[in-house]
Amino acid sequence: MDPHYNLPSQREKSATEAAEGDKITEASAPTDPIAYWIDNHAWPAGHSDPGLEMSRLISRKRSSTKLSVDQASSQGTPSRVPRDDKSRPYQNSDYEEALAAAGAFMDKPDLVITKTIKDLCKKLLDTSQSVPKVSRFHDDVLEKTCKNLRIANKAQVIKDITFLIVASAQDLADLGACKLDILMEKVNSSWLKCLPFATIGKRPQPDYSVGFRKSAFSEEQLTKLSPLIGKFSDQGSVQARWDMYFPFLTCEVKCSAEDLKIADRQNMHSASVSIKGIVELFRLINQQQKLHQEILAFSVSHDNETVRIYGHYPLINGDKTFFYRHLIDTFYIAARDDKEKWTAYKFTKNIYDIFVPIHLKRLCDAIDKLPAQYNFDVDTSLSFPSQPERDSEDTKSVLSSLPNTDSTANSKPTSQSSAPTSKKQAPLRRG
C-alpha cells in the first residue's frame, strides 16, 4: 500500500459523514426518491415524474383529424380517410336500406340471370392464367400464411395476400403486359371527382380500384367528354379521380375480426356509382337500353380466409335505373386442398385480358356518338328519389315490366308486391 495514501479510520469516516449529513442538498440525489417525495412533496433532481413516463406507455384510443372530402376537393388535394374511419358508416345493417333508397339492391331480383352474364362469368373463371412462381400462396407457405393472418389486422392482410387475390394491374403492366398501360389503379383513394348518391352523401373510397387512364381515349373522345368532366375540382359521372375514368373493379378487405358483409356494402356502393356514370353517358345518345342486364363492373370482398366475387349490372326501363349484383363465386382460400387459392387472381387477370377490351370498345363507341359540341341537360346529381316509399313503388312497377333479355328463359318476370325479394344466389362453379 502506498504510504502516502492515508485512508481515514472507520471512526473518522463516520464522524465525517455525520458532520456532512445536514449539508445534503437536492443535487446529492437521495437513494430513496419515494421517501424524499413523502418528506418534500417533490421529486429530487434527476428524477422525473413517473406519472409522465407511464402516460407514454398506457394504451389509449387513437384519435385522428379527418379532412372532409369537399374541403380536400376544393383545395385540389387528395383526401384519404383512414381505413378504420371510412368503413364505419357501412357497419350498420341499415346502410343496405340507404343503398336501396338510392336504387342499389344487394339482393337478387326476380329475374332470370341472362345467358350473356353466365357465359361471361364462366369464361372469366375458366380461362387459364399464369400465377406468381414464388409467393405466400406457395404450397409450402400457404398454411403458415393463413395461420399468421388469423389474428392479423386489416393492414397486415392487405400487405400479405390482397394482391395475390386481386392481381395488380400496375404490377402486371410494369412486368411486361404493355396492353394494361391504359389502366389506372388506386389504393385507398377517395373518388373525389364522382357525385355521390343523394340518399347516401358519401363518396366511395375502395381499398383497391381499377379504371382507365386518360391515354385509353383519343383526343377527340376526351374533347367530347370534356363537358362531363369539367374543371379539375368539378364533379361528374365520368371520373372517379382526375386521373381515373370509368372504374370497373373494386376490392374491399377485412380481417378476421370484421364482418365481410361490410366489405360487400362498400363494394355495392362503389360499383353502383360507377355504373350510374356509364348509364348517364348512354342516356345522352339514347342507347341506355343496351346496358340492361349487362355486367359493367366487378368487385371482390375478402378477409384472411374467404373470398367473394361479384358482377354488377343495371336494370333499365325508361328513365328508371336500378343496380344489382350477381354472385359469381365464393370460396375459402385454403379449400379443396388449396386448389381455390388462385381462383380470384386468375379471374381478375381475365377481367383485364377479356372484359377490358370489350368494355373499352363499348365506352368508346358511345363517346364517338356524342356530338362535337353540345349542351345536353345531363343528370349531374347522380341522385334518386329520397323517399323510401316512392322508391318501393317505383321498384314494384319497374321490375314487373322489365324485359328479360335472356332469350332462353321460359319464365316471365314475376310482378312484385314489395321491394325485390331476398334470394340466395348460387355462385357459378367451374367444371
DSSP calls for 8-59? PPHHHHHHHHHHHGGG--GGG--S-HHHHHHHHSSPPTT---HHHHHHHHS-
Tell me the whole-structure pTM to 2 decimals: 0.71
Give the helix/strand (H/E) hosting 147.
helix 142-149
Q: What is the pLDDT of residues 30-54, one digit of tens each?
A: 456 656 656 666 666 665 554 444 3
Question: Has residue 412 got a pLDDT over 80?
Answer: no
pLDDT above 70 as % of the chain = 66
Question: Has residue 343 got a pLDDT over 90?
Answer: yes
143: alpha, beta or left? (left if phi > 0; alpha if psi -120 to 50) = alpha
User: Which is nearest to 282 in space by CA: 296, 268, 269, 299?
Assistant: 296
Question: Has residue 328 got a pLDDT over 90?
Answer: yes
Q: What is the pLDDT of residues 416-425, one digit of tens each?
A: 333 344 455 5
Say if residues 306 and 263 touch (Cβ distance below 8 Å): no
Q: Record the cell numbers describing residue 216, joined without a space.
A: 385509353
Write down how long the chain is.
Answer: 431
Question: Has residue 291 got a pLDDT over 50?
Answer: yes
Question: Has residue 298 got a pLDDT over 60?
Answer: yes
- State the average pLDDT over residues 329-354: 94
Q: What is the pLDDT of residues 348-398, one digit of tens each?
A: 999 999 999 999 999 999 999 998 766 555 444 333 333 333 343 444 444
Question: Has residue 19 got a pLDDT over 60?
Answer: no
Q: What is the pLDDT of residues 113-148, one digit of tens each?
A: 899 999 999 999 999 999 999 999 998 899 999 999
pLDDT above 90 as % of the chain = 54
DSSP string spanning 51-75? HHHHHHHS------PPPPHHHHHHH
More confident residue, 77 or 84: 84
Q: At what angle do helices 343-350 and 115-126 cross, to 10 degrees?
A: 120
156: which DSSP letter? H
Question: Has residue 429 got a pLDDT over 90?
Answer: no
CA 147 to chain centre: 24
Select, from the ranges 13-17, 162-166, 254-258, the one with the highest average predicted confidence (pLDDT). Answer: 162-166
Say if residues 29 and 46 touch (Cβ distance below 8 Å): yes
Other beta carbons less than 10 A from residue 12's beta carbon: 10
More confident residue, 136 or 232: 136
Distances (CA, A) of 68 to 82, 282, 365: 12, 32, 37
Ranges of H-type helices in 230-350? 260-284, 335-338, 343-350
